[in-house]
Amino acid sequence: MRVAFVSASTAHHREARHPARLRRVAERLAADGHDVTYCCVQWWGGDHDAFEYEGVTYRRVTSDHAPRAFASKLPFVLRKVAPDVIHVATDPPLAVSAAKTAGRVLRTPVVADWWTTPDGDGGGYRRAARAADEILVPSRTVETQVREYGVAADAVRIVPDSVDMALVRDVPVDDRADLVYARRVDEHANVENFLLALAELRTRDWRAVVIGDGPERAAAERTAADLRIDDRVEFLGTLDPEERVPVLKGAHVFVQTATWEPFATDLLWALACGCVGIVEYQAGSSAHELVEGDPRGSLVTSPQEIADEIRAAADLERWAVDEGYANYDHAAVERRYLDCYREAVDDYGIF
């Protein structure tokens, strides 16, 4: 299948969750033999219109980030690519309408990849929602945001992030920690509530780690020192999956406290690694969706309740793998993308 991904920003431009998600999907599809072209702002050197990387052909739409110029030039680039399906990120939202213009000419369906709705430009996102033939979202929380623009329920499909279950099964256990927090440590991380819960448990025997880096890491380290638990909390920084998964397999509990999370990918990895999941409910986070059906998981609303659930988890068996999350494996989630593409192509052909 010929798939055209469209996103002004890519994971090669900046570190962000949505571009990283699109890059992973594009590279996995290419690795499985699909013809994948990524239409974007140029990030490679030289004056080449296209550049191949990890099996994906990146094609220049514009040389710099100018949303209106990107939208105006995109249809011409897509006509050259002639894909079977157009998979477009809602960043910028103008790109969705531009992709739809090309889709009408090429008789090609447009699938919009909707990660979250930033503040501002409500009209642009409303038009994007109505332009797409189908909308992919990572969670029910984001689905609710999209439905507020008047999109029909059958036009929205949930496709979550994925994990590498083969890696989870095969790597050894690193038992350096009992309790884990993992996420980019930014303004949404809310690591403090995890640390406050640990302070409630200072008389018990435990070891904890924080995995991830970001602008709020220093503040989190100061909080651990102020709470006098810094000798028992290790800040590991960013770890590759091959380094992170052994730590998760060795841990007993994973605590999720972030205030914003379209999809709680780090929590998913931890659950697949057998961790007991404790999620502090946050209105801007979808993390609760992952533990609602998990008998080992729990949903709380305060650091005190986190501490209570950590105590209760002591009665649960320690696991290193939870096969109940095998349906989130990379291959299984890739099939969901392909099913969406094929159905979109078939439905488009009807008209």
Superfamily of 165-325 according to CATH: Glycogen Phosphorylase B; (3.40.50.2000)
Q: What is the mean pLDDT of residues 82-100?
A: 92
Per-residue pLDDT at 318: 96
Per-residue pLDDT at 322: 98
Per-residue pLDDT at 121: 63
pTM: 0.95
Whether residue 347 is predicted with pLDDT greater than 90 in this model: the reply is: no
Q: What is the mean pLDDT of residues 6-14?
A: 93
Domain residue ranges in the chain: 2-162+329-350, 165-325
**Which residue from 247, 266, 236 is spatially nearest to 171, judged by alpha carbons?**
247
Q: How far apart are CA 322 and CA 324, in angstroms?
A: 5
Q: What is the mean pLDDT of residues 146-161?
A: 93
The CATH number given to 2-162+329-350 is: 3.40.50.2000
Q: What is the mean pLDDT of residues 58-79?
A: 94
- pLDDT tier for residue 16 given thresholds of 50, 70 and 90: confident
Phi and psi dihedrals of 152, rounded to 5?
Answer: -70, 150
What token pair was written down for 255?
């605590």
Q: How far apart are CA 293 and CA 228, in angstroms?
A: 36
Whether residue 73 is predicted with pLDDT greater than 50 in this model: the reply is: yes
Q: What is the mean pLDDT of residues 324-328?
A: 97
Percent share of the chain, pLDDT over 70? 98
- pLDDT tier for residue 120 given thresholds of 50, 70 and 90: low
DSSP 245-279: HHHHHH-SEEEE--SEESS-HHHHHHHHTTPEEEE
Count the alpha carbons within 13 Å of 49 in the hemisphere toward its beta carbon: 6
Using CA atoms in the order 12, 217, 301, 137, what is the torsion angle rounded to 10 degrees?
0
Whether residue 119 is predicted with pLDDT greater than 90 in this model: the reply is: no
Cβ neighbours of residue 127 closer than 8 Å, sequence gap 6 or more: 93, 96, 97
Specify whether the backbone of 190 is left (phi greater than 0), alpha (psi in -120 to 50) or beta. left
Per-residue pLDDT at 351: 46
- pLDDT tier for residue 258 given thresholds of 50, 70 and 90: very high
The angle that helices 241-250 and 265-272 make with each other, rounded to 10 degrees, is 60
Whether residue 91 is predicted with pLDDT greater than 70 in this model: the reply is: yes
| DSSP-assigned beta bridge partners for residue 50 | 59
- pLDDT tier for residue 123 given thresholds of 50, 70 and 90: confident
Phi and psi dihedrals of 111, rounded to 5?
Answer: -110, 120
Q: Count the Cβ atoms, other than its own, within 10 Å of residue 126.
A: 16
Instruction: Tell me the per-residue pLDDT of 136-150, one tens digit each, with 9 for 90 and over.
Output: 999 999 999 999 998
Q: What is the mean pLDDT of residues 239-245?
A: 97
**Averaged pLDDT score across all residues of the chain:** 95
Amino acid identity at 196? L
Long-range contact pairs involving 74-80 (C-beta distance under 8 Å, separation at least 24): 74/6, 74/39, 74/98, 74/99, 74/102, 75/99, 75/101, 75/102, 75/105, 77/39, 78/4, 78/6, 78/39, 78/102, 78/103, 78/106, 78/108, 79/105, 79/106
Cβ neighbours of residue 120 closer than 8 Å, sequence gap 6 or more: none
Per CATH, 2-162+329-350 and 165-325 having the same topology is answered: yes
Whether residue 9 is predicted with pLDDT greater than 50 in this model: the reply is: yes
Per-residue pLDDT at 349: 67
